[in-house]
C-alpha cells in the first residue's frame, strides 16, 4: 500500500477515534456552561447542512421567486411539460 494512503488512513482512523471519544464525553457531561463553550468552539468550524450558505444575490433570487409564486406567476408541472414538448417539436 502506498505510504501516502497509509498516512491518510491513519489520520482518518485517528479522527474517528477522537470523534468517538468526544461523542462519549459529551453524552456524559451535564455542565451546561461547559457544553455551551464546546458548542461555541464547534460552531466556528462547523456549518450545519440544513443551513446552506447563500450569497446575497442567491437570497435575492429566492425572495423574488417566492414573490412570483405568491403573485401566481408560475407554471404547473403539466404546463411546463407542454411548453417543453412544444419547444422540442419546433
Q: Give the residue extent of every domain in the chain.
A: 1-46, 54-90
Q: What is the pTM of this model?
A: 0.39
Q: Could you tell me if 26 and 35 are in contact, meaning their C-beta atoms sit under 8 angstroms apart? A: yes
30/57 Cα distance (integer angstroms): 42
Q: Could you tell me if 68 and 74 are in contact, meaning their C-beta atoms sit under 8 angstroms apart? A: yes
Q: Could you tell me if 54 and 62 are in contact, meaning their C-beta atoms sit under 8 angstroms apart? A: yes
Q: How do residues 21-70 score in pLDDT, each as one tens digit?
A: 888 989 999 999 999 999 999 888 877 666 677 788 999 999 999 999 99
Amino acid at each position: 500500500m502506498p505510504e501516502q494512503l497509509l498516512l491518510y488512513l491513519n489520520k482518518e482512523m485517528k479522527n474517528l477515534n477522537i470523534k468517538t471519544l468526544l461523542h462519549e464525553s459529551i453524552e456524559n457531561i451535564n455542565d451546561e456552561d461547559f457544553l455551551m463553550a464546546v458548542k461555541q468552539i464547534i460552531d466556528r468550524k462547523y456549518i450545519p447542512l440544513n443551513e446552506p450558505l447563500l450569497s446575497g444575490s442567491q437570497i435575492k433570487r429566492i425572495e423574488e421567486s417566492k414573490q412570483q409564486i405568491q403573485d401566481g406567476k408560475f407554471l404547473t408541472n403539466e404546463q411546463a411539460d407542454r411548453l417543453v414538448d412544444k419547444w422540442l417539436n419546433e
